[in-house]
Structure 1
């Protein structure tokens, strides 16, 4: 598996961020105009009171699974805020607050530094996500603290914890760099001349107070980032009159602008199947994809281990974040969407199809004696004693490498690569989330560009067993499997994640040129033999209950060879290597075998063989999927966003 995907912030993320920036500019333009241009209209009220413009962030849209279970929602946020210029002594006020609610010394130092960097009328959030007891203690014990405000807002909440963290992402406060970028973009959009330094400074100061509102969060990663503009909605604002002590004495309701709540999103996920898949992996690392063959709906897209997105909402500690970063099992990494692996023997159906189109008969016999010689070197089968006489059916059933070496040689690199793309490999599917890996489908042109070398015929043989330069994501393998399982006359769907609340992102995947049904029937028969005929490499994983069986293909993706030095020390088996050097285990499947409806792909990182590890996990996930049969149930629907009252509850100074 590759490292973190540095292309995660790709054109889709950039587009989402740019759209969000436009909406922010609209809101902030209104606020700045009100505060700087029309502020004089309220001079009369300012004789005894001051006008304060309180941002009212919109309630963020909810993300649901297909049946209405909340994946991302909102909860009440009790917080305390301080306006430094209104305090008699800011440091003393902080110390008093620290005696009432938990505030670390590190947080106190950060708050003092923050106040030194910005205008003193800009409020700072001292503590948030307080318990009711802590919030009540503030109100009871500190009624005379000037410039201190105890308020109630909303925080993002992820009730299912790590289950959907990689796909849904999380929200967090804008960091200093993001704040600066947003402010500069807004000033530019307002058309303020660069020479008008006074106005630009005033706008910057006011924008800081808006952006630092305790409820202000922006999407980070996944759907939260991609759909930021849709989920966030349009913030509003309230004008209030406050006295010298900062207490609200009047609400100027006639001039309020109500926020418009963010739009909801319904995903194709079945939360129960997603959770089942993650739990089924136990202590193993890896991923699982479950997809409906007819619609392309992603029923589950699990990556494990994961992380709790709730930890990021109010700011994750450096220690916890470094622990996640340093974990060898990469809990921050979306293995199902960003991860790329050599597909190993799960790629043999593609090679079989390419060879069939090249004229190789599926009934032709190829002898496997344990190896074949080509270009002056031996290419070994995984079964050193050999499989004997093989055809396509037996080659898939026994996963014979020698048969597919010959099939690859007959087909050639260009035909295999073209078939791989037709089967859905080598493409980043637009799901409505950030990230995604294209992988590599190599051909002679790719190698010349990437390596500056010609393609050697011996490399075609490695290509034929899913090794070499080839790399694929688990999601791509799910698409490949669905295009084998579906009849050639039917339309092969691309995966879909968003099914309600906002338009499904348009995917530019090329339409699959149909493979002859005769070839597909042979591939399906071979996959059925893998799980249902004696000698099949996953015979124990075919039964999914209620008289149904799945069809599938095992795969083992080599990470590296055992060295001579290691063999000299007695290391002769892959499972004796360090965990990070062991082979990956893969299994691709569809069910029911006689009437395909769902695809399930499992990849177990450094799990060894696909038949022993990945196939049993897929079997159990598929059995649960057929038991629940989510595509037979009515899908949850949501209404369009609408204007609402402020998301923030009644507020006032302590």
Structure 2
């Protein structure tokens, strides 16, 4: 078949040209649509590609003392971050590690980072996920910050930022009470995720729960974000941290942040401010008064139940922990025999020694087991249950009644009082005096001492035996199984001074609600019981008493009215930390404290209140291994009470921030 190729070719050419024209027309129409009709839409999308929304840590709430002095606040923070996926886009792990390492090395030279720090940063930067900022260093000087800022364009992935950093102006004074903040680890983040889900009432596997968990994780991964690690900072984390916002960041093609865009409409909500009942001046005075001694002191306002000071000494500076403490100084703190990291006032559990005789005296009177004029002979030892129990005074005190028994702290008198009263009644009265309870103060930690009885001993996992009569004899002088924290002992003496009307103790007066509904009320004692016990404590600080030298708070009558000429009443105690049978000389005699190593010497205790006629302040002092409560503890208690009466912090209304939230114990903020 013959074909006319000349006629056929033009028709095919027209077909191809027509098809090309259709395609060109379509492209022109599409370009016109994009350029003319959807220009604004794609301009917005282009900006969104360059603008990134990042979590913005909110301003953390300030913690104040009762006078409005800042105990924990925020300061300006210059810091440097690294974004690994910007520092290196190489998919080869070895090359990626090398490129990121070079960036860290260069910035490390600018900031004088240690080799260990650079190794840690490189490990973090090469561990997935890479799309997160890693904190290189914070709390930089302006000079260091400026150096990095100038060099940042040449350092891929490096950004110099300005934010906030937690600061503790009074350094070690409130380490144990306020605690500190630090970068969150994975356990912290998981804890905060669970806490926030619980507060919000959301299931972890629900869409809302997953979204909240992601938001919490992103927030606590932020280089400028910190989490409370202990103390009020940890207990009140949800209230103190506030609600996070967002910040718009303008990035270049490499992902480096080149500008911060206005983000006021995305601002978060500041955290709640918290006001403590403590007086910073009194707290610092107490620390200075302890000097190089290790121990604790707790003072309570008898009229209000407010904690005026809560000292545990020595203590580290919490500022050391905010950006991460180096291993060497932390090791030194852990190995210090004076236990600076331990909150002695709240977590420390000690035999109360002879201070417990206040409870035994009240129990004996309340039950009628002893009359105040009943006498007990003291020859320096007493025979009970086939063995001798020694008095602290080998030659004996002679004939003792209630007042003289307290005045001289005669062990033989209280052996008899305890035997007649019985451990069950002693335990009931001990709890009415505030012992055997962990007080919820709005801080982490805290322990309850032991108020033993038959049930306690039978159920103790390591003892599991009945109570023996000899156990009661030891308990009568605050030894054996009886233990208490310094805070409990402060409550004990405050209740002895204030009676049934004394309010429950509390540490936080504004900003956080901290309920403690399980406190045992003191209740009313029989008429005259507390008066007789107080009279015995007054005798302790008068002529011939064990602490007579420390009784007067104002020997020169210089205290302001109504405290001029004030005296204190109290009770001394010395508690063994080891059994005497373990340390005896070649003749079988107990080795004296001055010949024992420091950590084996007796603890020195003293509890007191003042003024004696209308008690306002009560204090418990423990000097670890101080040997003598009357010689070492009483002078400290005297000076603390004198200072409190001189400045009278409880008479001033507690500071109230201008704007504040009050949060409940679960951390949910509630406006007032």
Query: Shorter-normalised TM-score: what interval?
Result: 0.7 to 0.9
Q: CA deviation at 1:517?
A: 3.7
Matched, 1:554 2:572: yes
Instruction: Report what 1:637 is aligned to.
Output: 656
2:492 maps to 480
Task: Return the offset for 1:178.
Answer: 3.1
1:581 to 597, 600, 611: 600
Asked whether the 8 Å contact 1:146–1:246 carries over to 2, the reply is no
Q: Is the 8 A contact 1:71 1:164 kept in 2?
A: yes
Between the aligned partners of 2:182 and 2:259, the Cα distance in structure 1 is 32
Q: Say whether residues 1:104 and 2:122 are aligned partners.
A: no
Aligned residue in 1 for 2:468: 456
Shift of 1:154: 0.7
Could you tell me which residue of structure 1 aligns to residue 509 of structure 2?
Answer: 499
Q: Does 1:567 align with 2:585?
A: yes
CA drift at 1:504: 4.0
> In the TM superposition, what are the counterparts of 1:411-490 in structure 2 within 5 Å?
411-450=421-460, 451-486=463-498, 488=499, 490=500
Unpaired stretches in structure 1, ≥5 consecutive residues: 1-40, 643-654
Aligned partners of 2:287 and 2:138: how far apart in 1? Answer: 31
Q: Which residues of 2 match residues 76-95 of structure 1 at below 5 A?
A: 76-88=76-88, 89-95=99-105
For 1:192 and 1:170, the matched residues in 2 are separated by 29
Question: Which of 174-183 and 232-241 deviates more?
Answer: 174-183
- Post-superposition shift, 1:566? 3.9
Instruction: Please say if 1:64 is aligned against 2:80.
Output: no
CA spacing shift, 1:574–1:452, aligned 2, 3 Å: same
2:537 corresponds to 1:527: yes
Alignment match, 1:222: 231
Deviation at 1:76, TM superposition (A): 1.0
Identify the residue that residue 302 of structure 2 maps to in structure 1: 293
Q: 1:47 & 1:524 partners in 2: Cα distance? A: 77
**In the alignment, is the contact (CA less than 8 A) between 1:49 and 1:243 conserved in 2?**
no
Alignment partner, residue 28 of structure 2: none
Look up the match of 2:29. none
Larger Rg: 2
1:590 maps to 609
Distance in 2 separating the partners of 1:403 and 1:565: 27
User: Does 2:283 match 1:274?
Assistant: yes
- Specify the alignment match of 1:119 in structure 2: 129
Root-mean-square deviation (CA), in Å? Answer: 2.6
Match of 2:528, SS? helix
- 1:242-257 to structure 2, matched below 5 A, reads 242-246=251-255, 253=262, 256-257=265-266
Q: Following superposition of structure 1 onto structure 2, how do residues 141-180 of structure 1 map, counting pairs within 5 Å?
A: 141-179=151-189
Select the residue among 613, 626, 632 that pairs with 1:613. Answer: 632
Q: How much does 1:181 deviate?
A: 5.9
Residue 623 (structure 1) aligned to one of 612, 632, 642: 642
Question: Could you say if the C-alpha distance between residues 340 and 214 of structure 1 is closer, same or farther in structure 2, counting changes exceeding 3 Å?
Answer: same
TM-score, normalised by the number of residues in structure 2: 0.84
Judged with a 3 Å threshold, the aligned counterparts in structure 2 of structure 1 residues 74 and 436 are, in CA distance, closer, same or farther, namely same
- Post-superposition CA distance 1:601-620 (Å, at most 9, x none): 10000110101111111111
Displacement after TM superposition at 1:433 (Å)? 0.7
Aligned equivalents of 2:512 and 2:582: distance in 1? 57
Contact 1:307 1:332 in 2 (8 A): yes
Structure-2 residue corresponding to 1:75: 75
* Length-normalised TM-score, structure 1: 0.86
Could you tell which deviates more after superposition, 438-447 or 103-112?
103-112
Aligned to 2:24: none
Structure 1 residues 318 and 54: CA distance shift in structure 2, 3 A: same
Question: Is this contact kept in 2: 1:86–1:246, CA < 8 A?
Answer: yes
**Distance in structure 2 (CA, Å) of the matches to 1:479 and 1:391:** 26
Confirm whether residue 133 of structure 1 aligns to residue 152 of structure 2.
no
**How many Å apart are 1:210 and its aligned residue?**
4.0
Q: Which stretch shows the higher mean deviation, 125-134 or 181-190?
A: 181-190
- Map of 1:233 onto structure 2: 242
Give the distance between the partners of 2:195 and 2:159, measured in 1 at CA.
Answer: 30
Match of 2:339 in 1: 330
Q: Displacement of 1:136 after TM fit?
A: 1.3
Report the counterpart of residue 544 of structure 1 in structure 2: 553
